[in-house]
Structure 1
Amino acid sequence: MARERATALLVDLDGVLRRWDPAVAAGVERDYGLAEGVLTEIAMHWGRLQPVLTGQVSHADWVASVADALADSAGGEQRARAAVEQWQRYRGEVDPDVLAFVREVRAAGVRVGLGTNGTDLLDTDLAALGLTDELDVVVNSSVVGVHKPAKEYFQAACAALDTPPARVLFVDDEDWAIRGARAAGLSAYRWDGPSGLRYLRAALAY
């Protein structure tokens, strides 16, 4: 039996709608004499990251914990805090191709949601990036209390979109998130760049 055509779109933020220039973190690491990749390694350690993504701790608390873990490598707490502050100042950039697609889809009457594992800084980031009015709903893991790829996360996202899972198309750049969405009944597309826009246009009902 043919799958129902999607009538709503759920897009990931980081790696899809927002992109990050790795040169920024690399520059901070050079400035403070840190090992290459150490900022990401410490910040993304799952035991440190998971609580902030589910709203158990604030973004500020998470940043402080990164600085604490970096202190020995940076040559003291003060230098570690300065390094992390400089790193955090950069909030990424909007992918213009994806934003244009989101606008096109919404103009055609398709609801678009942002589905992200985020922190309590998300609304501030969206405002700084000029994205506040570009989406119909925002499904932030730190607000929902559960993160991708959990089935409960995708259930919350579909409820926010007021669309059954079988009619929601999810776009993410991580395989584990794609698998989670499909297990929850959504259709899902693994994003690897603007070449995928042709497929997404064909998959949506507009």
Structure 2
Amino acid sequence: MRDRAQALMIDLDGVLRRWDPAPMIAVEVGYGLKPASLLETAMSWDIYRPAMAGEITDAEWMKLVADRLPLEPERAAAAVAEWQSYRGDVDPEVLAFVREVRAGGRKVAIATNATDRLRPDLDTLGLTAEVDLVLSSWELKVHKPAPEYFEQACAQLRVLPKHVLFVDDDDRVIRGARSAGLSGYRWAGPEHVPYLRKVLDLPV
């Protein structure tokens, strides 16, 4: 049997924060870009990786995105700024679960690949005070699923990996967490909360 989880690490995007594609697609359509082209450009590995690893700032990353758009420079910069103005929404069911975990005496940390824009985003979303710790790849200078990310994360949380439940919506990241000794659980929606309560020894 695995050791009982004493702390929860939870991913931000795709778990605690949801993204409605409609406002982002509206920006692309308004500037004559194909839907999802901004996201696809931003996720290009050669510029996404340094942004997540703390090698460049969010502003520098977005400048690189704008430079790659098939638009005049001023329009490209405006399109990126408008696209970035939407910062997602908190999933109320997941937030309720986070509060329940903390009320049950377990530490909760947001564990996410992010840029230096993360903490302002958490303030805007009202999440800063909802967790005990924020574990940002930009600050750790290494991104999930690297083992070093999870090693540093557990050290900062001050909980042994075998006592940490890690929840993420990315299979590759879950595999990385498990290889680092954490209990990894693949998130697909709030229907998983009852099971996670059991793992954390919380009332069902």
* Normalised TM-score (structure 2): 0.97
* Residue 152 of structure 1, aligned match among 142, 145, 148: 148
**Counterpart check, 1:196 vs 2:192:** yes
**Counterpart check, 1:90 vs 2:59:** no
**Counterpart check, 1:139 vs 2:138:** no
**Counterpart check, 1:79 vs 2:75:** yes
SS at match of 1:79: helix
Query: Which residue does the alignment assign to 1:33?
Result: 32
Superposition deviation, residue 205 in structure 1: 2.9
Superposition deviation, residue 57 in structure 1: 0.6
**Counterpart check, 1:66 vs 2:51:** no
* Residue 130 of structure 1, aligned match among 126, 130, 135: 126
Query: Which residue does the alignment assign to 2:114?
Result: 118
Q: Distance in 2 between matches of 1:104 and 1:121?
A: 27
SS at match of 1:148: coil
Q: Distance in 1 between matches of 2:195 and 2:158?
A: 24
**Counterpart check, 1:168 vs 2:164:** yes
Q: Following TM superposition, where does structure 1 have runs of at least 4 consecutive aligned residues deviating by more than 3 angstroms?
A: none
SS at match of 2:105: coil
Q: Distance in 1 between matches of 2:153 and 2:93?
A: 23
Q: Distance in 2 between matches of 1:55 and 1:174?
A: 21
The code of the aligned residue for 1:64 comes to K
Superposition deviation, residue 157 in structure 1: 1.1
Superposition deviation, residue 38 in structure 1: 0.6
Q: Distance in 1 between matches of 2:187 and 2:123?
A: 24
Query: Which residue does the alignment assign to 1:44?
Result: 43
Provide Cα deviations, 1:131-188, integer angstroms capped at 9, x if missing partner: 1100101110010010000001001111111110000000000000000000000001
Note the aligned Cα RMSD (angstroms).
0.7
Query: Which residue does the alignment assign to 1:178?
Result: 174
Provide Cα deviations, 1:23-47, integer angstroms capped at 9, x if missing partner: 1211011100101211011000011
Q: Distance in 1 between matches of 2:180 and 2:23?
A: 36
* 5+ residue gaps, structure 1: none
SS at match of 1:60: helix
The code of the aligned residue for 1:147 comes to H
The code of the aligned residue for 1:201 comes to R
* Normalised TM-score (structure 1): 0.97
Superposition deviation, residue 68 in structure 1: 0.7
The code of the aligned residue for 2:109 comes to G
The code of the aligned residue for 1:62 comes to W
* 5+ residue gaps, structure 2: none
Aligned length: 202
Provide Cα deviations, 1:176-202, integer angstroms capped at 9, x if missing partner: 000000000000110000001011001
